Amino acid sequence: MKKVRGMKRIRLTALIMTAMMLFSMLFSSFFIGAHGVHSCTGEDCPICACIQQCENTIRGLGSGISFVSAVILPAFLLSLFISFVVPSFKQDTPVSTKVRLNN
Protein backbone atom coordinates (compact mmCIF):
# COMPACT_ATOMS: atom_id res chain seq x y z
CA MET A 1 0.00 0.00 0.00
CA LYS A 2 2.83 2.39 0.83
CA LYS A 3 4.58 1.65 -2.47
CA VAL A 4 1.48 2.69 -4.38
CA ARG A 5 1.26 5.97 -2.46
CA GLY A 6 4.96 6.58 -3.01
CA MET A 7 4.66 5.99 -6.74
CA LYS A 8 1.66 8.32 -6.92
CA ARG A 9 3.63 11.04 -5.14
CA ILE A 10 6.59 10.59 -7.46
CA ARG A 11 4.36 10.76 -10.52
CA LEU A 12 2.53 13.82 -9.21
CA THR A 13 5.82 15.53 -8.39
CA ALA A 14 7.18 14.75 -11.85
CA LEU A 15 3.99 16.08 -13.45
CA ILE A 16 4.14 19.31 -11.43
CA MET A 17 7.82 19.86 -12.25
CA THR A 18 7.21 19.23 -15.93
CA ALA A 19 4.32 21.69 -15.94
CA MET A 20 6.48 24.30 -14.21
CA MET A 21 9.28 23.84 -16.75
CA LEU A 22 6.88 24.12 -19.68
CA PHE A 23 5.20 27.15 -18.11
CA SER A 24 8.54 28.89 -17.64
CA MET A 25 9.81 28.13 -21.14
CA LEU A 26 6.50 29.00 -22.78
CA PHE A 27 6.08 32.38 -21.15
CA SER A 28 9.75 33.27 -21.56
CA SER A 29 9.41 32.56 -25.26
CA PHE A 30 6.18 34.59 -25.45
CA PHE A 31 7.83 37.54 -23.73
CA ILE A 32 10.82 37.46 -26.07
CA GLY A 33 8.51 37.24 -29.08
CA ALA A 34 6.25 40.06 -27.90
CA HIS A 35 9.01 42.48 -26.89
CA GLY A 36 11.75 41.46 -29.32
CA VAL A 37 11.37 44.66 -31.33
CA HIS A 38 10.99 47.63 -28.99
CA SER A 39 12.31 51.16 -28.71
CA CYS A 40 15.33 50.64 -26.48
CA THR A 41 16.01 53.43 -23.97
CA GLY A 42 19.71 52.72 -23.69
CA GLU A 43 21.97 50.90 -21.30
CA ASP A 44 19.42 50.56 -18.46
CA CYS A 45 16.51 49.36 -20.60
CA PRO A 46 14.18 47.22 -18.39
CA ILE A 47 12.76 45.33 -21.37
CA CYS A 48 16.24 44.34 -22.55
CA ALA A 49 17.03 43.17 -19.01
CA CYS A 50 13.85 41.04 -18.94
CA ILE A 51 14.64 39.59 -22.37
CA GLN A 52 18.14 38.71 -21.18
CA GLN A 53 16.68 37.02 -18.10
CA CYS A 54 14.21 35.05 -20.23
CA GLU A 55 17.03 33.89 -22.52
CA ASN A 56 19.06 32.82 -19.49
CA THR A 57 16.04 30.91 -18.15
CA ILE A 58 15.58 29.06 -21.42
CA ARG A 59 19.29 28.22 -21.61
CA GLY A 60 19.37 27.19 -17.96
CA LEU A 61 16.42 24.83 -18.28
CA GLY A 62 18.28 23.10 -21.05
CA SER A 63 21.26 22.42 -18.83
CA GLY A 64 19.19 21.45 -15.81
CA ILE A 65 21.46 23.10 -13.25
CA SER A 66 19.25 26.12 -12.72
CA PHE A 67 16.20 23.84 -12.64
CA VAL A 68 17.67 21.87 -9.76
CA SER A 69 18.59 24.97 -7.82
CA ALA A 70 15.39 26.89 -8.57
CA VAL A 71 12.70 24.20 -8.37
CA ILE A 72 13.78 20.88 -6.94
CA LEU A 73 15.78 22.14 -3.97
CA PRO A 74 13.05 24.50 -2.65
CA ALA A 75 10.40 21.81 -3.23
CA PHE A 76 12.50 19.28 -1.34
CA LEU A 77 13.12 21.69 1.54
CA LEU A 78 9.41 22.57 1.68
CA SER A 79 8.40 18.90 1.80
CA LEU A 80 11.00 18.27 4.49
CA PHE A 81 9.68 21.21 6.53
CA ILE A 82 6.09 20.03 6.12
CA SER A 83 6.96 16.50 7.20
CA PHE A 84 8.27 17.86 10.50
CA VAL A 85 5.58 20.49 11.10
CA VAL A 86 2.39 18.62 10.20
CA PRO A 87 2.72 15.86 12.85
CA SER A 88 3.10 18.53 15.55
CA PHE A 89 -0.40 19.86 14.76
CA LYS A 90 -1.99 16.48 15.37
CA GLN A 91 -3.90 16.28 18.63
CA ASP A 92 -4.26 13.08 20.56
CA THR A 93 -7.87 12.15 21.12
CA PRO A 94 -9.36 9.09 22.78
CA VAL A 95 -10.28 7.76 19.34
CA SER A 96 -6.79 8.26 17.88
CA THR A 97 -5.19 6.53 20.88
CA LYS A 98 -7.86 3.77 20.69
CA VAL A 99 -9.10 4.21 24.25
CA ARG A 100 -12.19 2.20 24.97
CA LEU A 101 -14.81 4.25 26.78
CA ASN A 102 -16.99 2.01 28.97
CA ASN A 103 -20.07 3.16 30.82
* Residue-range definition of the domain harbouring residue 27: 1-34+45-63
Res. 32 pLDDT band, cuts 50 70 90: confident
Note whether residue 22 is domain-resident: yes
**Rounded Cα–Cα distance for residues 30 and 9 (Å):** 31
Note whether residue 87 is domain-resident: no
Note whether residue 39 is domain-resident: no
Res. 4 pLDDT band, cuts 50 70 90: low
Give how many domains the chain has, as a whole number: 1
Res. 3 pLDDT band, cuts 50 70 90: low
- What average pLDDT does this structure show over 74-101? 77
Note whether residue 18 is domain-resident: yes
Res. 70 pLDDT band, cuts 50 70 90: low
Going by C-alpha positions, the residue among 35, 73, 80 that lies closest to residue 54 is 35
Note whether residue 59 is domain-resident: yes
pLDDT of residue 62: 64
